[in-house]
Amino acid sequence: MLTDNIRKALNDQLQAEFNSAYLYLSMSAYFDDQGLEGMANWMTVQFEEEQSHALKLFRYIIERGGRPELQAIEQPQRDWDSPVAAFEASLDHERMISGRINDLADLAVKEKDHATHNMLQWFISEQVEEEANVESIVSQMKMVGDAGPGLFMIDREMKGRTFVNEAAGA
């Protein structure tokens, strides 16, 4: 059974995950509009990942006897100054989500909710991966700039990314 504090915090994180999904879908639309189909694909896959993260939390709340409370989703930003600025915004966003997950883990320890703390370890590991992936992309994009053959090559490589629902099996 979830304490009121944990239930509220998990529901707030549920909203944050749906907000993340919506942000990445907006970034996908931005990249499509820029003619960067690979980057649009990368962000669409990111959208799918964030939805799966939200569903993982949704199901966990139910499993622990709570009720998921769907909150309003924020309108996401829709334009960025450049492709690299969009990925930098993505990195900032992932760092913010990592902080939220860490705060949740701290709360679970404080509330002596070992099951929630254990479940959150998956999210903590996932955030390390998320940040590392986006950091790598930002570094590469800064090397090649916002135009030219380097950007074309990065975009083409991103077309190959596909969604694998790792949250379902964890």
- Residue 106: both structure tokens together: 């701290």
Quote the CA–CA distance of 126 and 130 in Å, as a whole number: 6
For 111-163, the pLDDT digits (tens) are 999 999 999 999 999 999 999 999 999 999 999 988 789 999 999 999 999 99
pLDDT given for residue 170 in this prediction: 60
pLDDT given for residue 145 in this prediction: 87
Length of the chain: 170
Residue 130's Cβ-count burial label (10 Å; 0-12, 13-18, 19+) is buried
Nearest Cα to Cα of residue 140 among 65, 67, 87: 87
* Dihedral sign from CA coordinates of 140, 38, 21, 46: negative
| Residue 169 pLDDT exceeds 70 | no
| Residue 168 pLDDT exceeds 80 | no
Q: How confident is the model at residue 166 (pLDDT cuts 50, 70, 90)?
A: confident
For 76-106, the pLDDT digits (tens) are 999 999 999 999 999 999 999 999 999 999 9
pLDDT given for residue 148 in this prediction: 87
pLDDT, mean of residues 54-81: 97
For 98-113, the pLDDT digits (tens) are 999 999 999 999 999 9
pLDDT, mean of residues 19-43: 98
DSSP state letters, the chain: ---HHHHHHHHHHHHHHHHHHHHHHHHHHHHHHTT-HHHHHHHHHHHHHHHHHHHHHHHHHHHTT------PPPPPP---SSHHHHHHHHHHHHHHHHHHHHHHHHHHHHTT-HHHHHHHHHHHHHHHHHHHHHHHHHHHHHHH-SSSHHHHHHHHHHTT-----HHHH-
Domains of the chain: 4-70+78-162 (1.20.1260.10)
